[in-house]
Amino acid sequence: MGRRFPSYTHPTNMTLNHNIGVLALQGDFDKHIQSIRACGAATVLLRDPEALDAIDGLIIPGGESTTVGKLMDRFGLTAAIRRRAAGGLPIYGTCTGAIVLAKEIIGSDQPSIGAMDVAIERNAYGRQIDSFEVDVSIPAIGDEPFRAVFIRAPIIRTLGSSVETLSVCDGNVILARQGNLLVSTFHPELTDDLRVHRYFLDAICGNATVCVGR
Amino acid sequence: MSTNNGEIDKSTWRNKVGLAEMLKGGVIMDVTSAEQALIAAEAGAVAVMALERVPADIRKEGGVARMADPLKIREIMEALKESKYEIPVMAKCRIGHFAEAQVLEAMGVDFVDESEVLTPADEHFHVNKHAFRVPFVCGCRDLGEALRRIGEGAAMIRTKGEAGSGNIVEAVRHMRAVMDGMRRLQSLPREELMAEAKNLGAPYDLVVEIAATGKLPVPNFSAGGIATPADASLMMQLGAEAIFVGSGIFKSEDPGPRAKAIVDATTYYDRPETVAKLSEGLGSAMPGLDIRQMDEKEMLSVRGW
């Protein structure tokens, strides 16, 4: 078991060292790759369990959660990601990513990693014509409002005590963190605003102590 | 925590294109019943297209093909909602038939396909898709047609192929035409772009954008003739970002396993060993048609402009 300690404390330097895997089974992984690269970090398309060993952060993008869950199961990724999540690998899930990271998916027994102590309801705002965008406040990334894009979005219904709320919209938690895990029910990758991705790289990947393997 | 949020904007352009982005790398399957919708979802479809008849049957039976019975669409929507799958439901309207599109939007369909598979309602004008809250997908045979539809408000483009033929040749022709068109624009000097926009019959701003980016501003999917995992792999390697399968699944011998194999092959399209394994023992594919034996008036892809 190897350990990797962060060697910098200056946020702008840290992103340069990161190699971020983006789960590329189905969904808008291209958009996340563009965002992460624009932050100055390297990316790798992740479709194999073996490739998990070479990354120091993982993004699970938006997509269709049942499709992504099935593909993760069929190709041996669910258990492998669960192991790495428990070992401290920084993981950021957007929308479908938040769903497959959740401990409980309300009304479904679909495959999931189950690492984040939340219960989440899929497609909880209605059909596509109810999809929306709105300016939200995220104190952890600064005072400027963030344009949050919601597409057939889920709602986090309950949070465990170890989960920290980072942003709320209309009474619903839309951005939350549990140690090395970050989830949002909106899609920062669909805007040019990189602050949420930077937060993931600097505050979570930058301070992570990752146990590799097992 | 403070919740001083701004005003909510619904059904923005970003919401529309965003849903298309979420479907990338996936397979959208034609279904004609709730039972088929559940088989598609179980196989891992990212969305279903709710229809009364698949294109192969529309072709065989002839007559005017219209928007599906709303009851049929509603049954499919409700079956998926009640199941553990909540994938998006798409439905087709006739080219130019904005009243059918209004009905589909009112029903809460997630995506409308203004489709050449149905009998066109207007021989000159397509639907003004910007006027709708629901996103639209439209077919194209080349770059000019793609850009005209995007100019009208399509949030997703699919190359037409030849629906219900089980023959990939037209899908390949159309995808190559779109990709070649974009490569050509990238090689042109700026002063030639207006003349090229005129030649293509395409909005100038979109021509300038593609000359700079080399990519369509909306996702570019492939449809029309895909019947096997290798077909899906071929279209993804040619530049498709996701796959529509129409008659190819439920007109085959064993739909469930074939649907699953096409889903997996769309994700691992660039790994021949995986595609080989997925292609084993799927039973017979749908019977196909030789495009060269067809009259132009039998072809669906020439509908629309």
Environment class of residue B62 by beta-carbon count within 10 Å: exposed (0-12), middle (13-18) or buried (19+)? exposed
User: Out of B16, B72, B92, B129, which one is annotated catalytic?
Assistant: B92
Q: Which residues contact A184 (CB under 8 A, 6 or more apart)?
A: A92, A93, A94, A95, A98, A148, A167, A174, A175, A176, A196
Mean pLDDT over residues B104-122, rounded?
97
pLDDT above 80 (res A137): yes
User: What's the pLDDT at A10?
Assistant: 42
Confirm whether A213 is domain-assigned.
no
Average pLDDT, integer, range B205-212:
98
CA angle, A196 then A198 then A202, to 5°: 125
Has residue A4 got a pLDDT over 50?
A: no
Residue A15 has pLDDT above 60, yes or no: no
Residues in CB range of B142: below 8 A, 6 or more apart: B174, B177, B178, B181
pLDDT at A1 over 80: no
Q: Judge whether A212 lies within some domain.
A: no
- B contacts of A122 (beta carbons < 8 Å): 86
State the pLDDT confidence band at A72, using cuts at 50, 70 and 90. very high
Task: Choose between A93 and A16: higher pLDDT.
Answer: A93
User: Is the pLDDT assigned to residue A37 strictly greater than 70?
Assistant: yes
Reported as a pLDDT band with limits 50, 70 and 90, residue A214 is very low
Indicate yes or no: CB of A66 within 8 angstroms of CB of B85: yes
The answer to whether residue A147 sits within a structural domain is yes
More confident residue, B292 or A123: A123
Hey, is the C-beta of B5 within 8 angstroms of any chain A C-beta? Answer: yes
pLDDT at A207: 73
Residue A85 within any structural domain of the chain: yes
Q: Does residue A25 sit within a domain?
A: yes
| Nearest by Cα to B240 from B304, B179, B182 | B179
Number of domains in chain A: 1
Identify the band that residue A110 occupies on the pLDDT scale cut at 50, 70 and 90.
confident
- Confidence band, pLDDT 50/70/90 cuts, at residue B291: confident
Q: How does the average pLDDT of chain B come out, rounded?
A: 95
Query: What percent of chain B is modeled with pLDDT above 70?
Result: 99
Residues of chain B found within 8 Å of residue A135, distances taken between Cβ atoms: 5-7
In order, the DSSP letters of A126-187 are -SGGG-EEEEE--GGG-SS-EEEEESS--EEEEE-TTPEEEEEETTEEEEEEETTEEEESS-
Residue A84's CATH number? 3.40.50.880
A195 Cβ under 8 Å from any chain B Cβ: no
B92 is catalytic: yes
pLDDT average, residue stretch B108-131: 97
Does residue A10 form part of some domain? no
A2 pLDDT more than 50 = no
Tell me the per-residue pLDDT of B228-259, one tens digit each, with 9 for 90 and over. Answer: 999 999 999 999 999 999 899 999 999 999 99
What mean pLDDT value characterizes chain A? 91
pLDDT above 70 (res B76): yes
> DSSP characters for chain A?
--EE------HHHHGGG-EEEEE-SSSSHHHHHHHHHHTT-EEEEE-SGGGGGG-SEEEE-SS-HHHHHHHHHHTTHHHHHHHHHHTT--EEEETHHHHHHEEEETT--------EEEEEETTTT-SGGG-EEEEE--GGG-SS-EEEEESS--EEEEE-TTPEEEEEETTEEEEEEETTEEEESS-GGGSS--HHHHHIIIIIITT--EE---
Nearest to A172 by CA among A144, A141, A132: A132
Residue A194 lies in a domain: yes
Does the CB of A144 have a partner CB in chain B at under 8 Å?
Answer: no
Chain segment A199-211, per-residue pLDDT in tens: 999 999 987 766 5
pLDDT of residue B292: 83
* pLDDT higher than threshold 60 for residue A7: no
Please name the residues between 66 and 125 in chain B that touch chain A, using a CB distance below 8 Å.
Answer: 84-88, 105, 108-111
pLDDT at B3: 55
In the predicted model, is pLDDT for residue A63 greater than 70? yes
pLDDT at B293 over 50: yes
Q: A50: burial class by Cβ within 10 Å (0-12, 13-18, 19+)? A: exposed
Structural domain including A107 reads 19-207
Q: How many whole angstroms separate alpha carbon A39 and alpha carbon B25? A: 24
Please state, in angstroms and rounded to a whole number, the distance separating the CA atoms of residues A28 and A14.
Answer: 25
Q: Is B214 on the interface with A (CB under 8 A)?
A: no
Q: Of B293 and A44, which is predicted with more confidence?
A: A44
Name residue B136's beta-bridge partners. B112
Q: Output the pLDDT for position B305.
A: 87
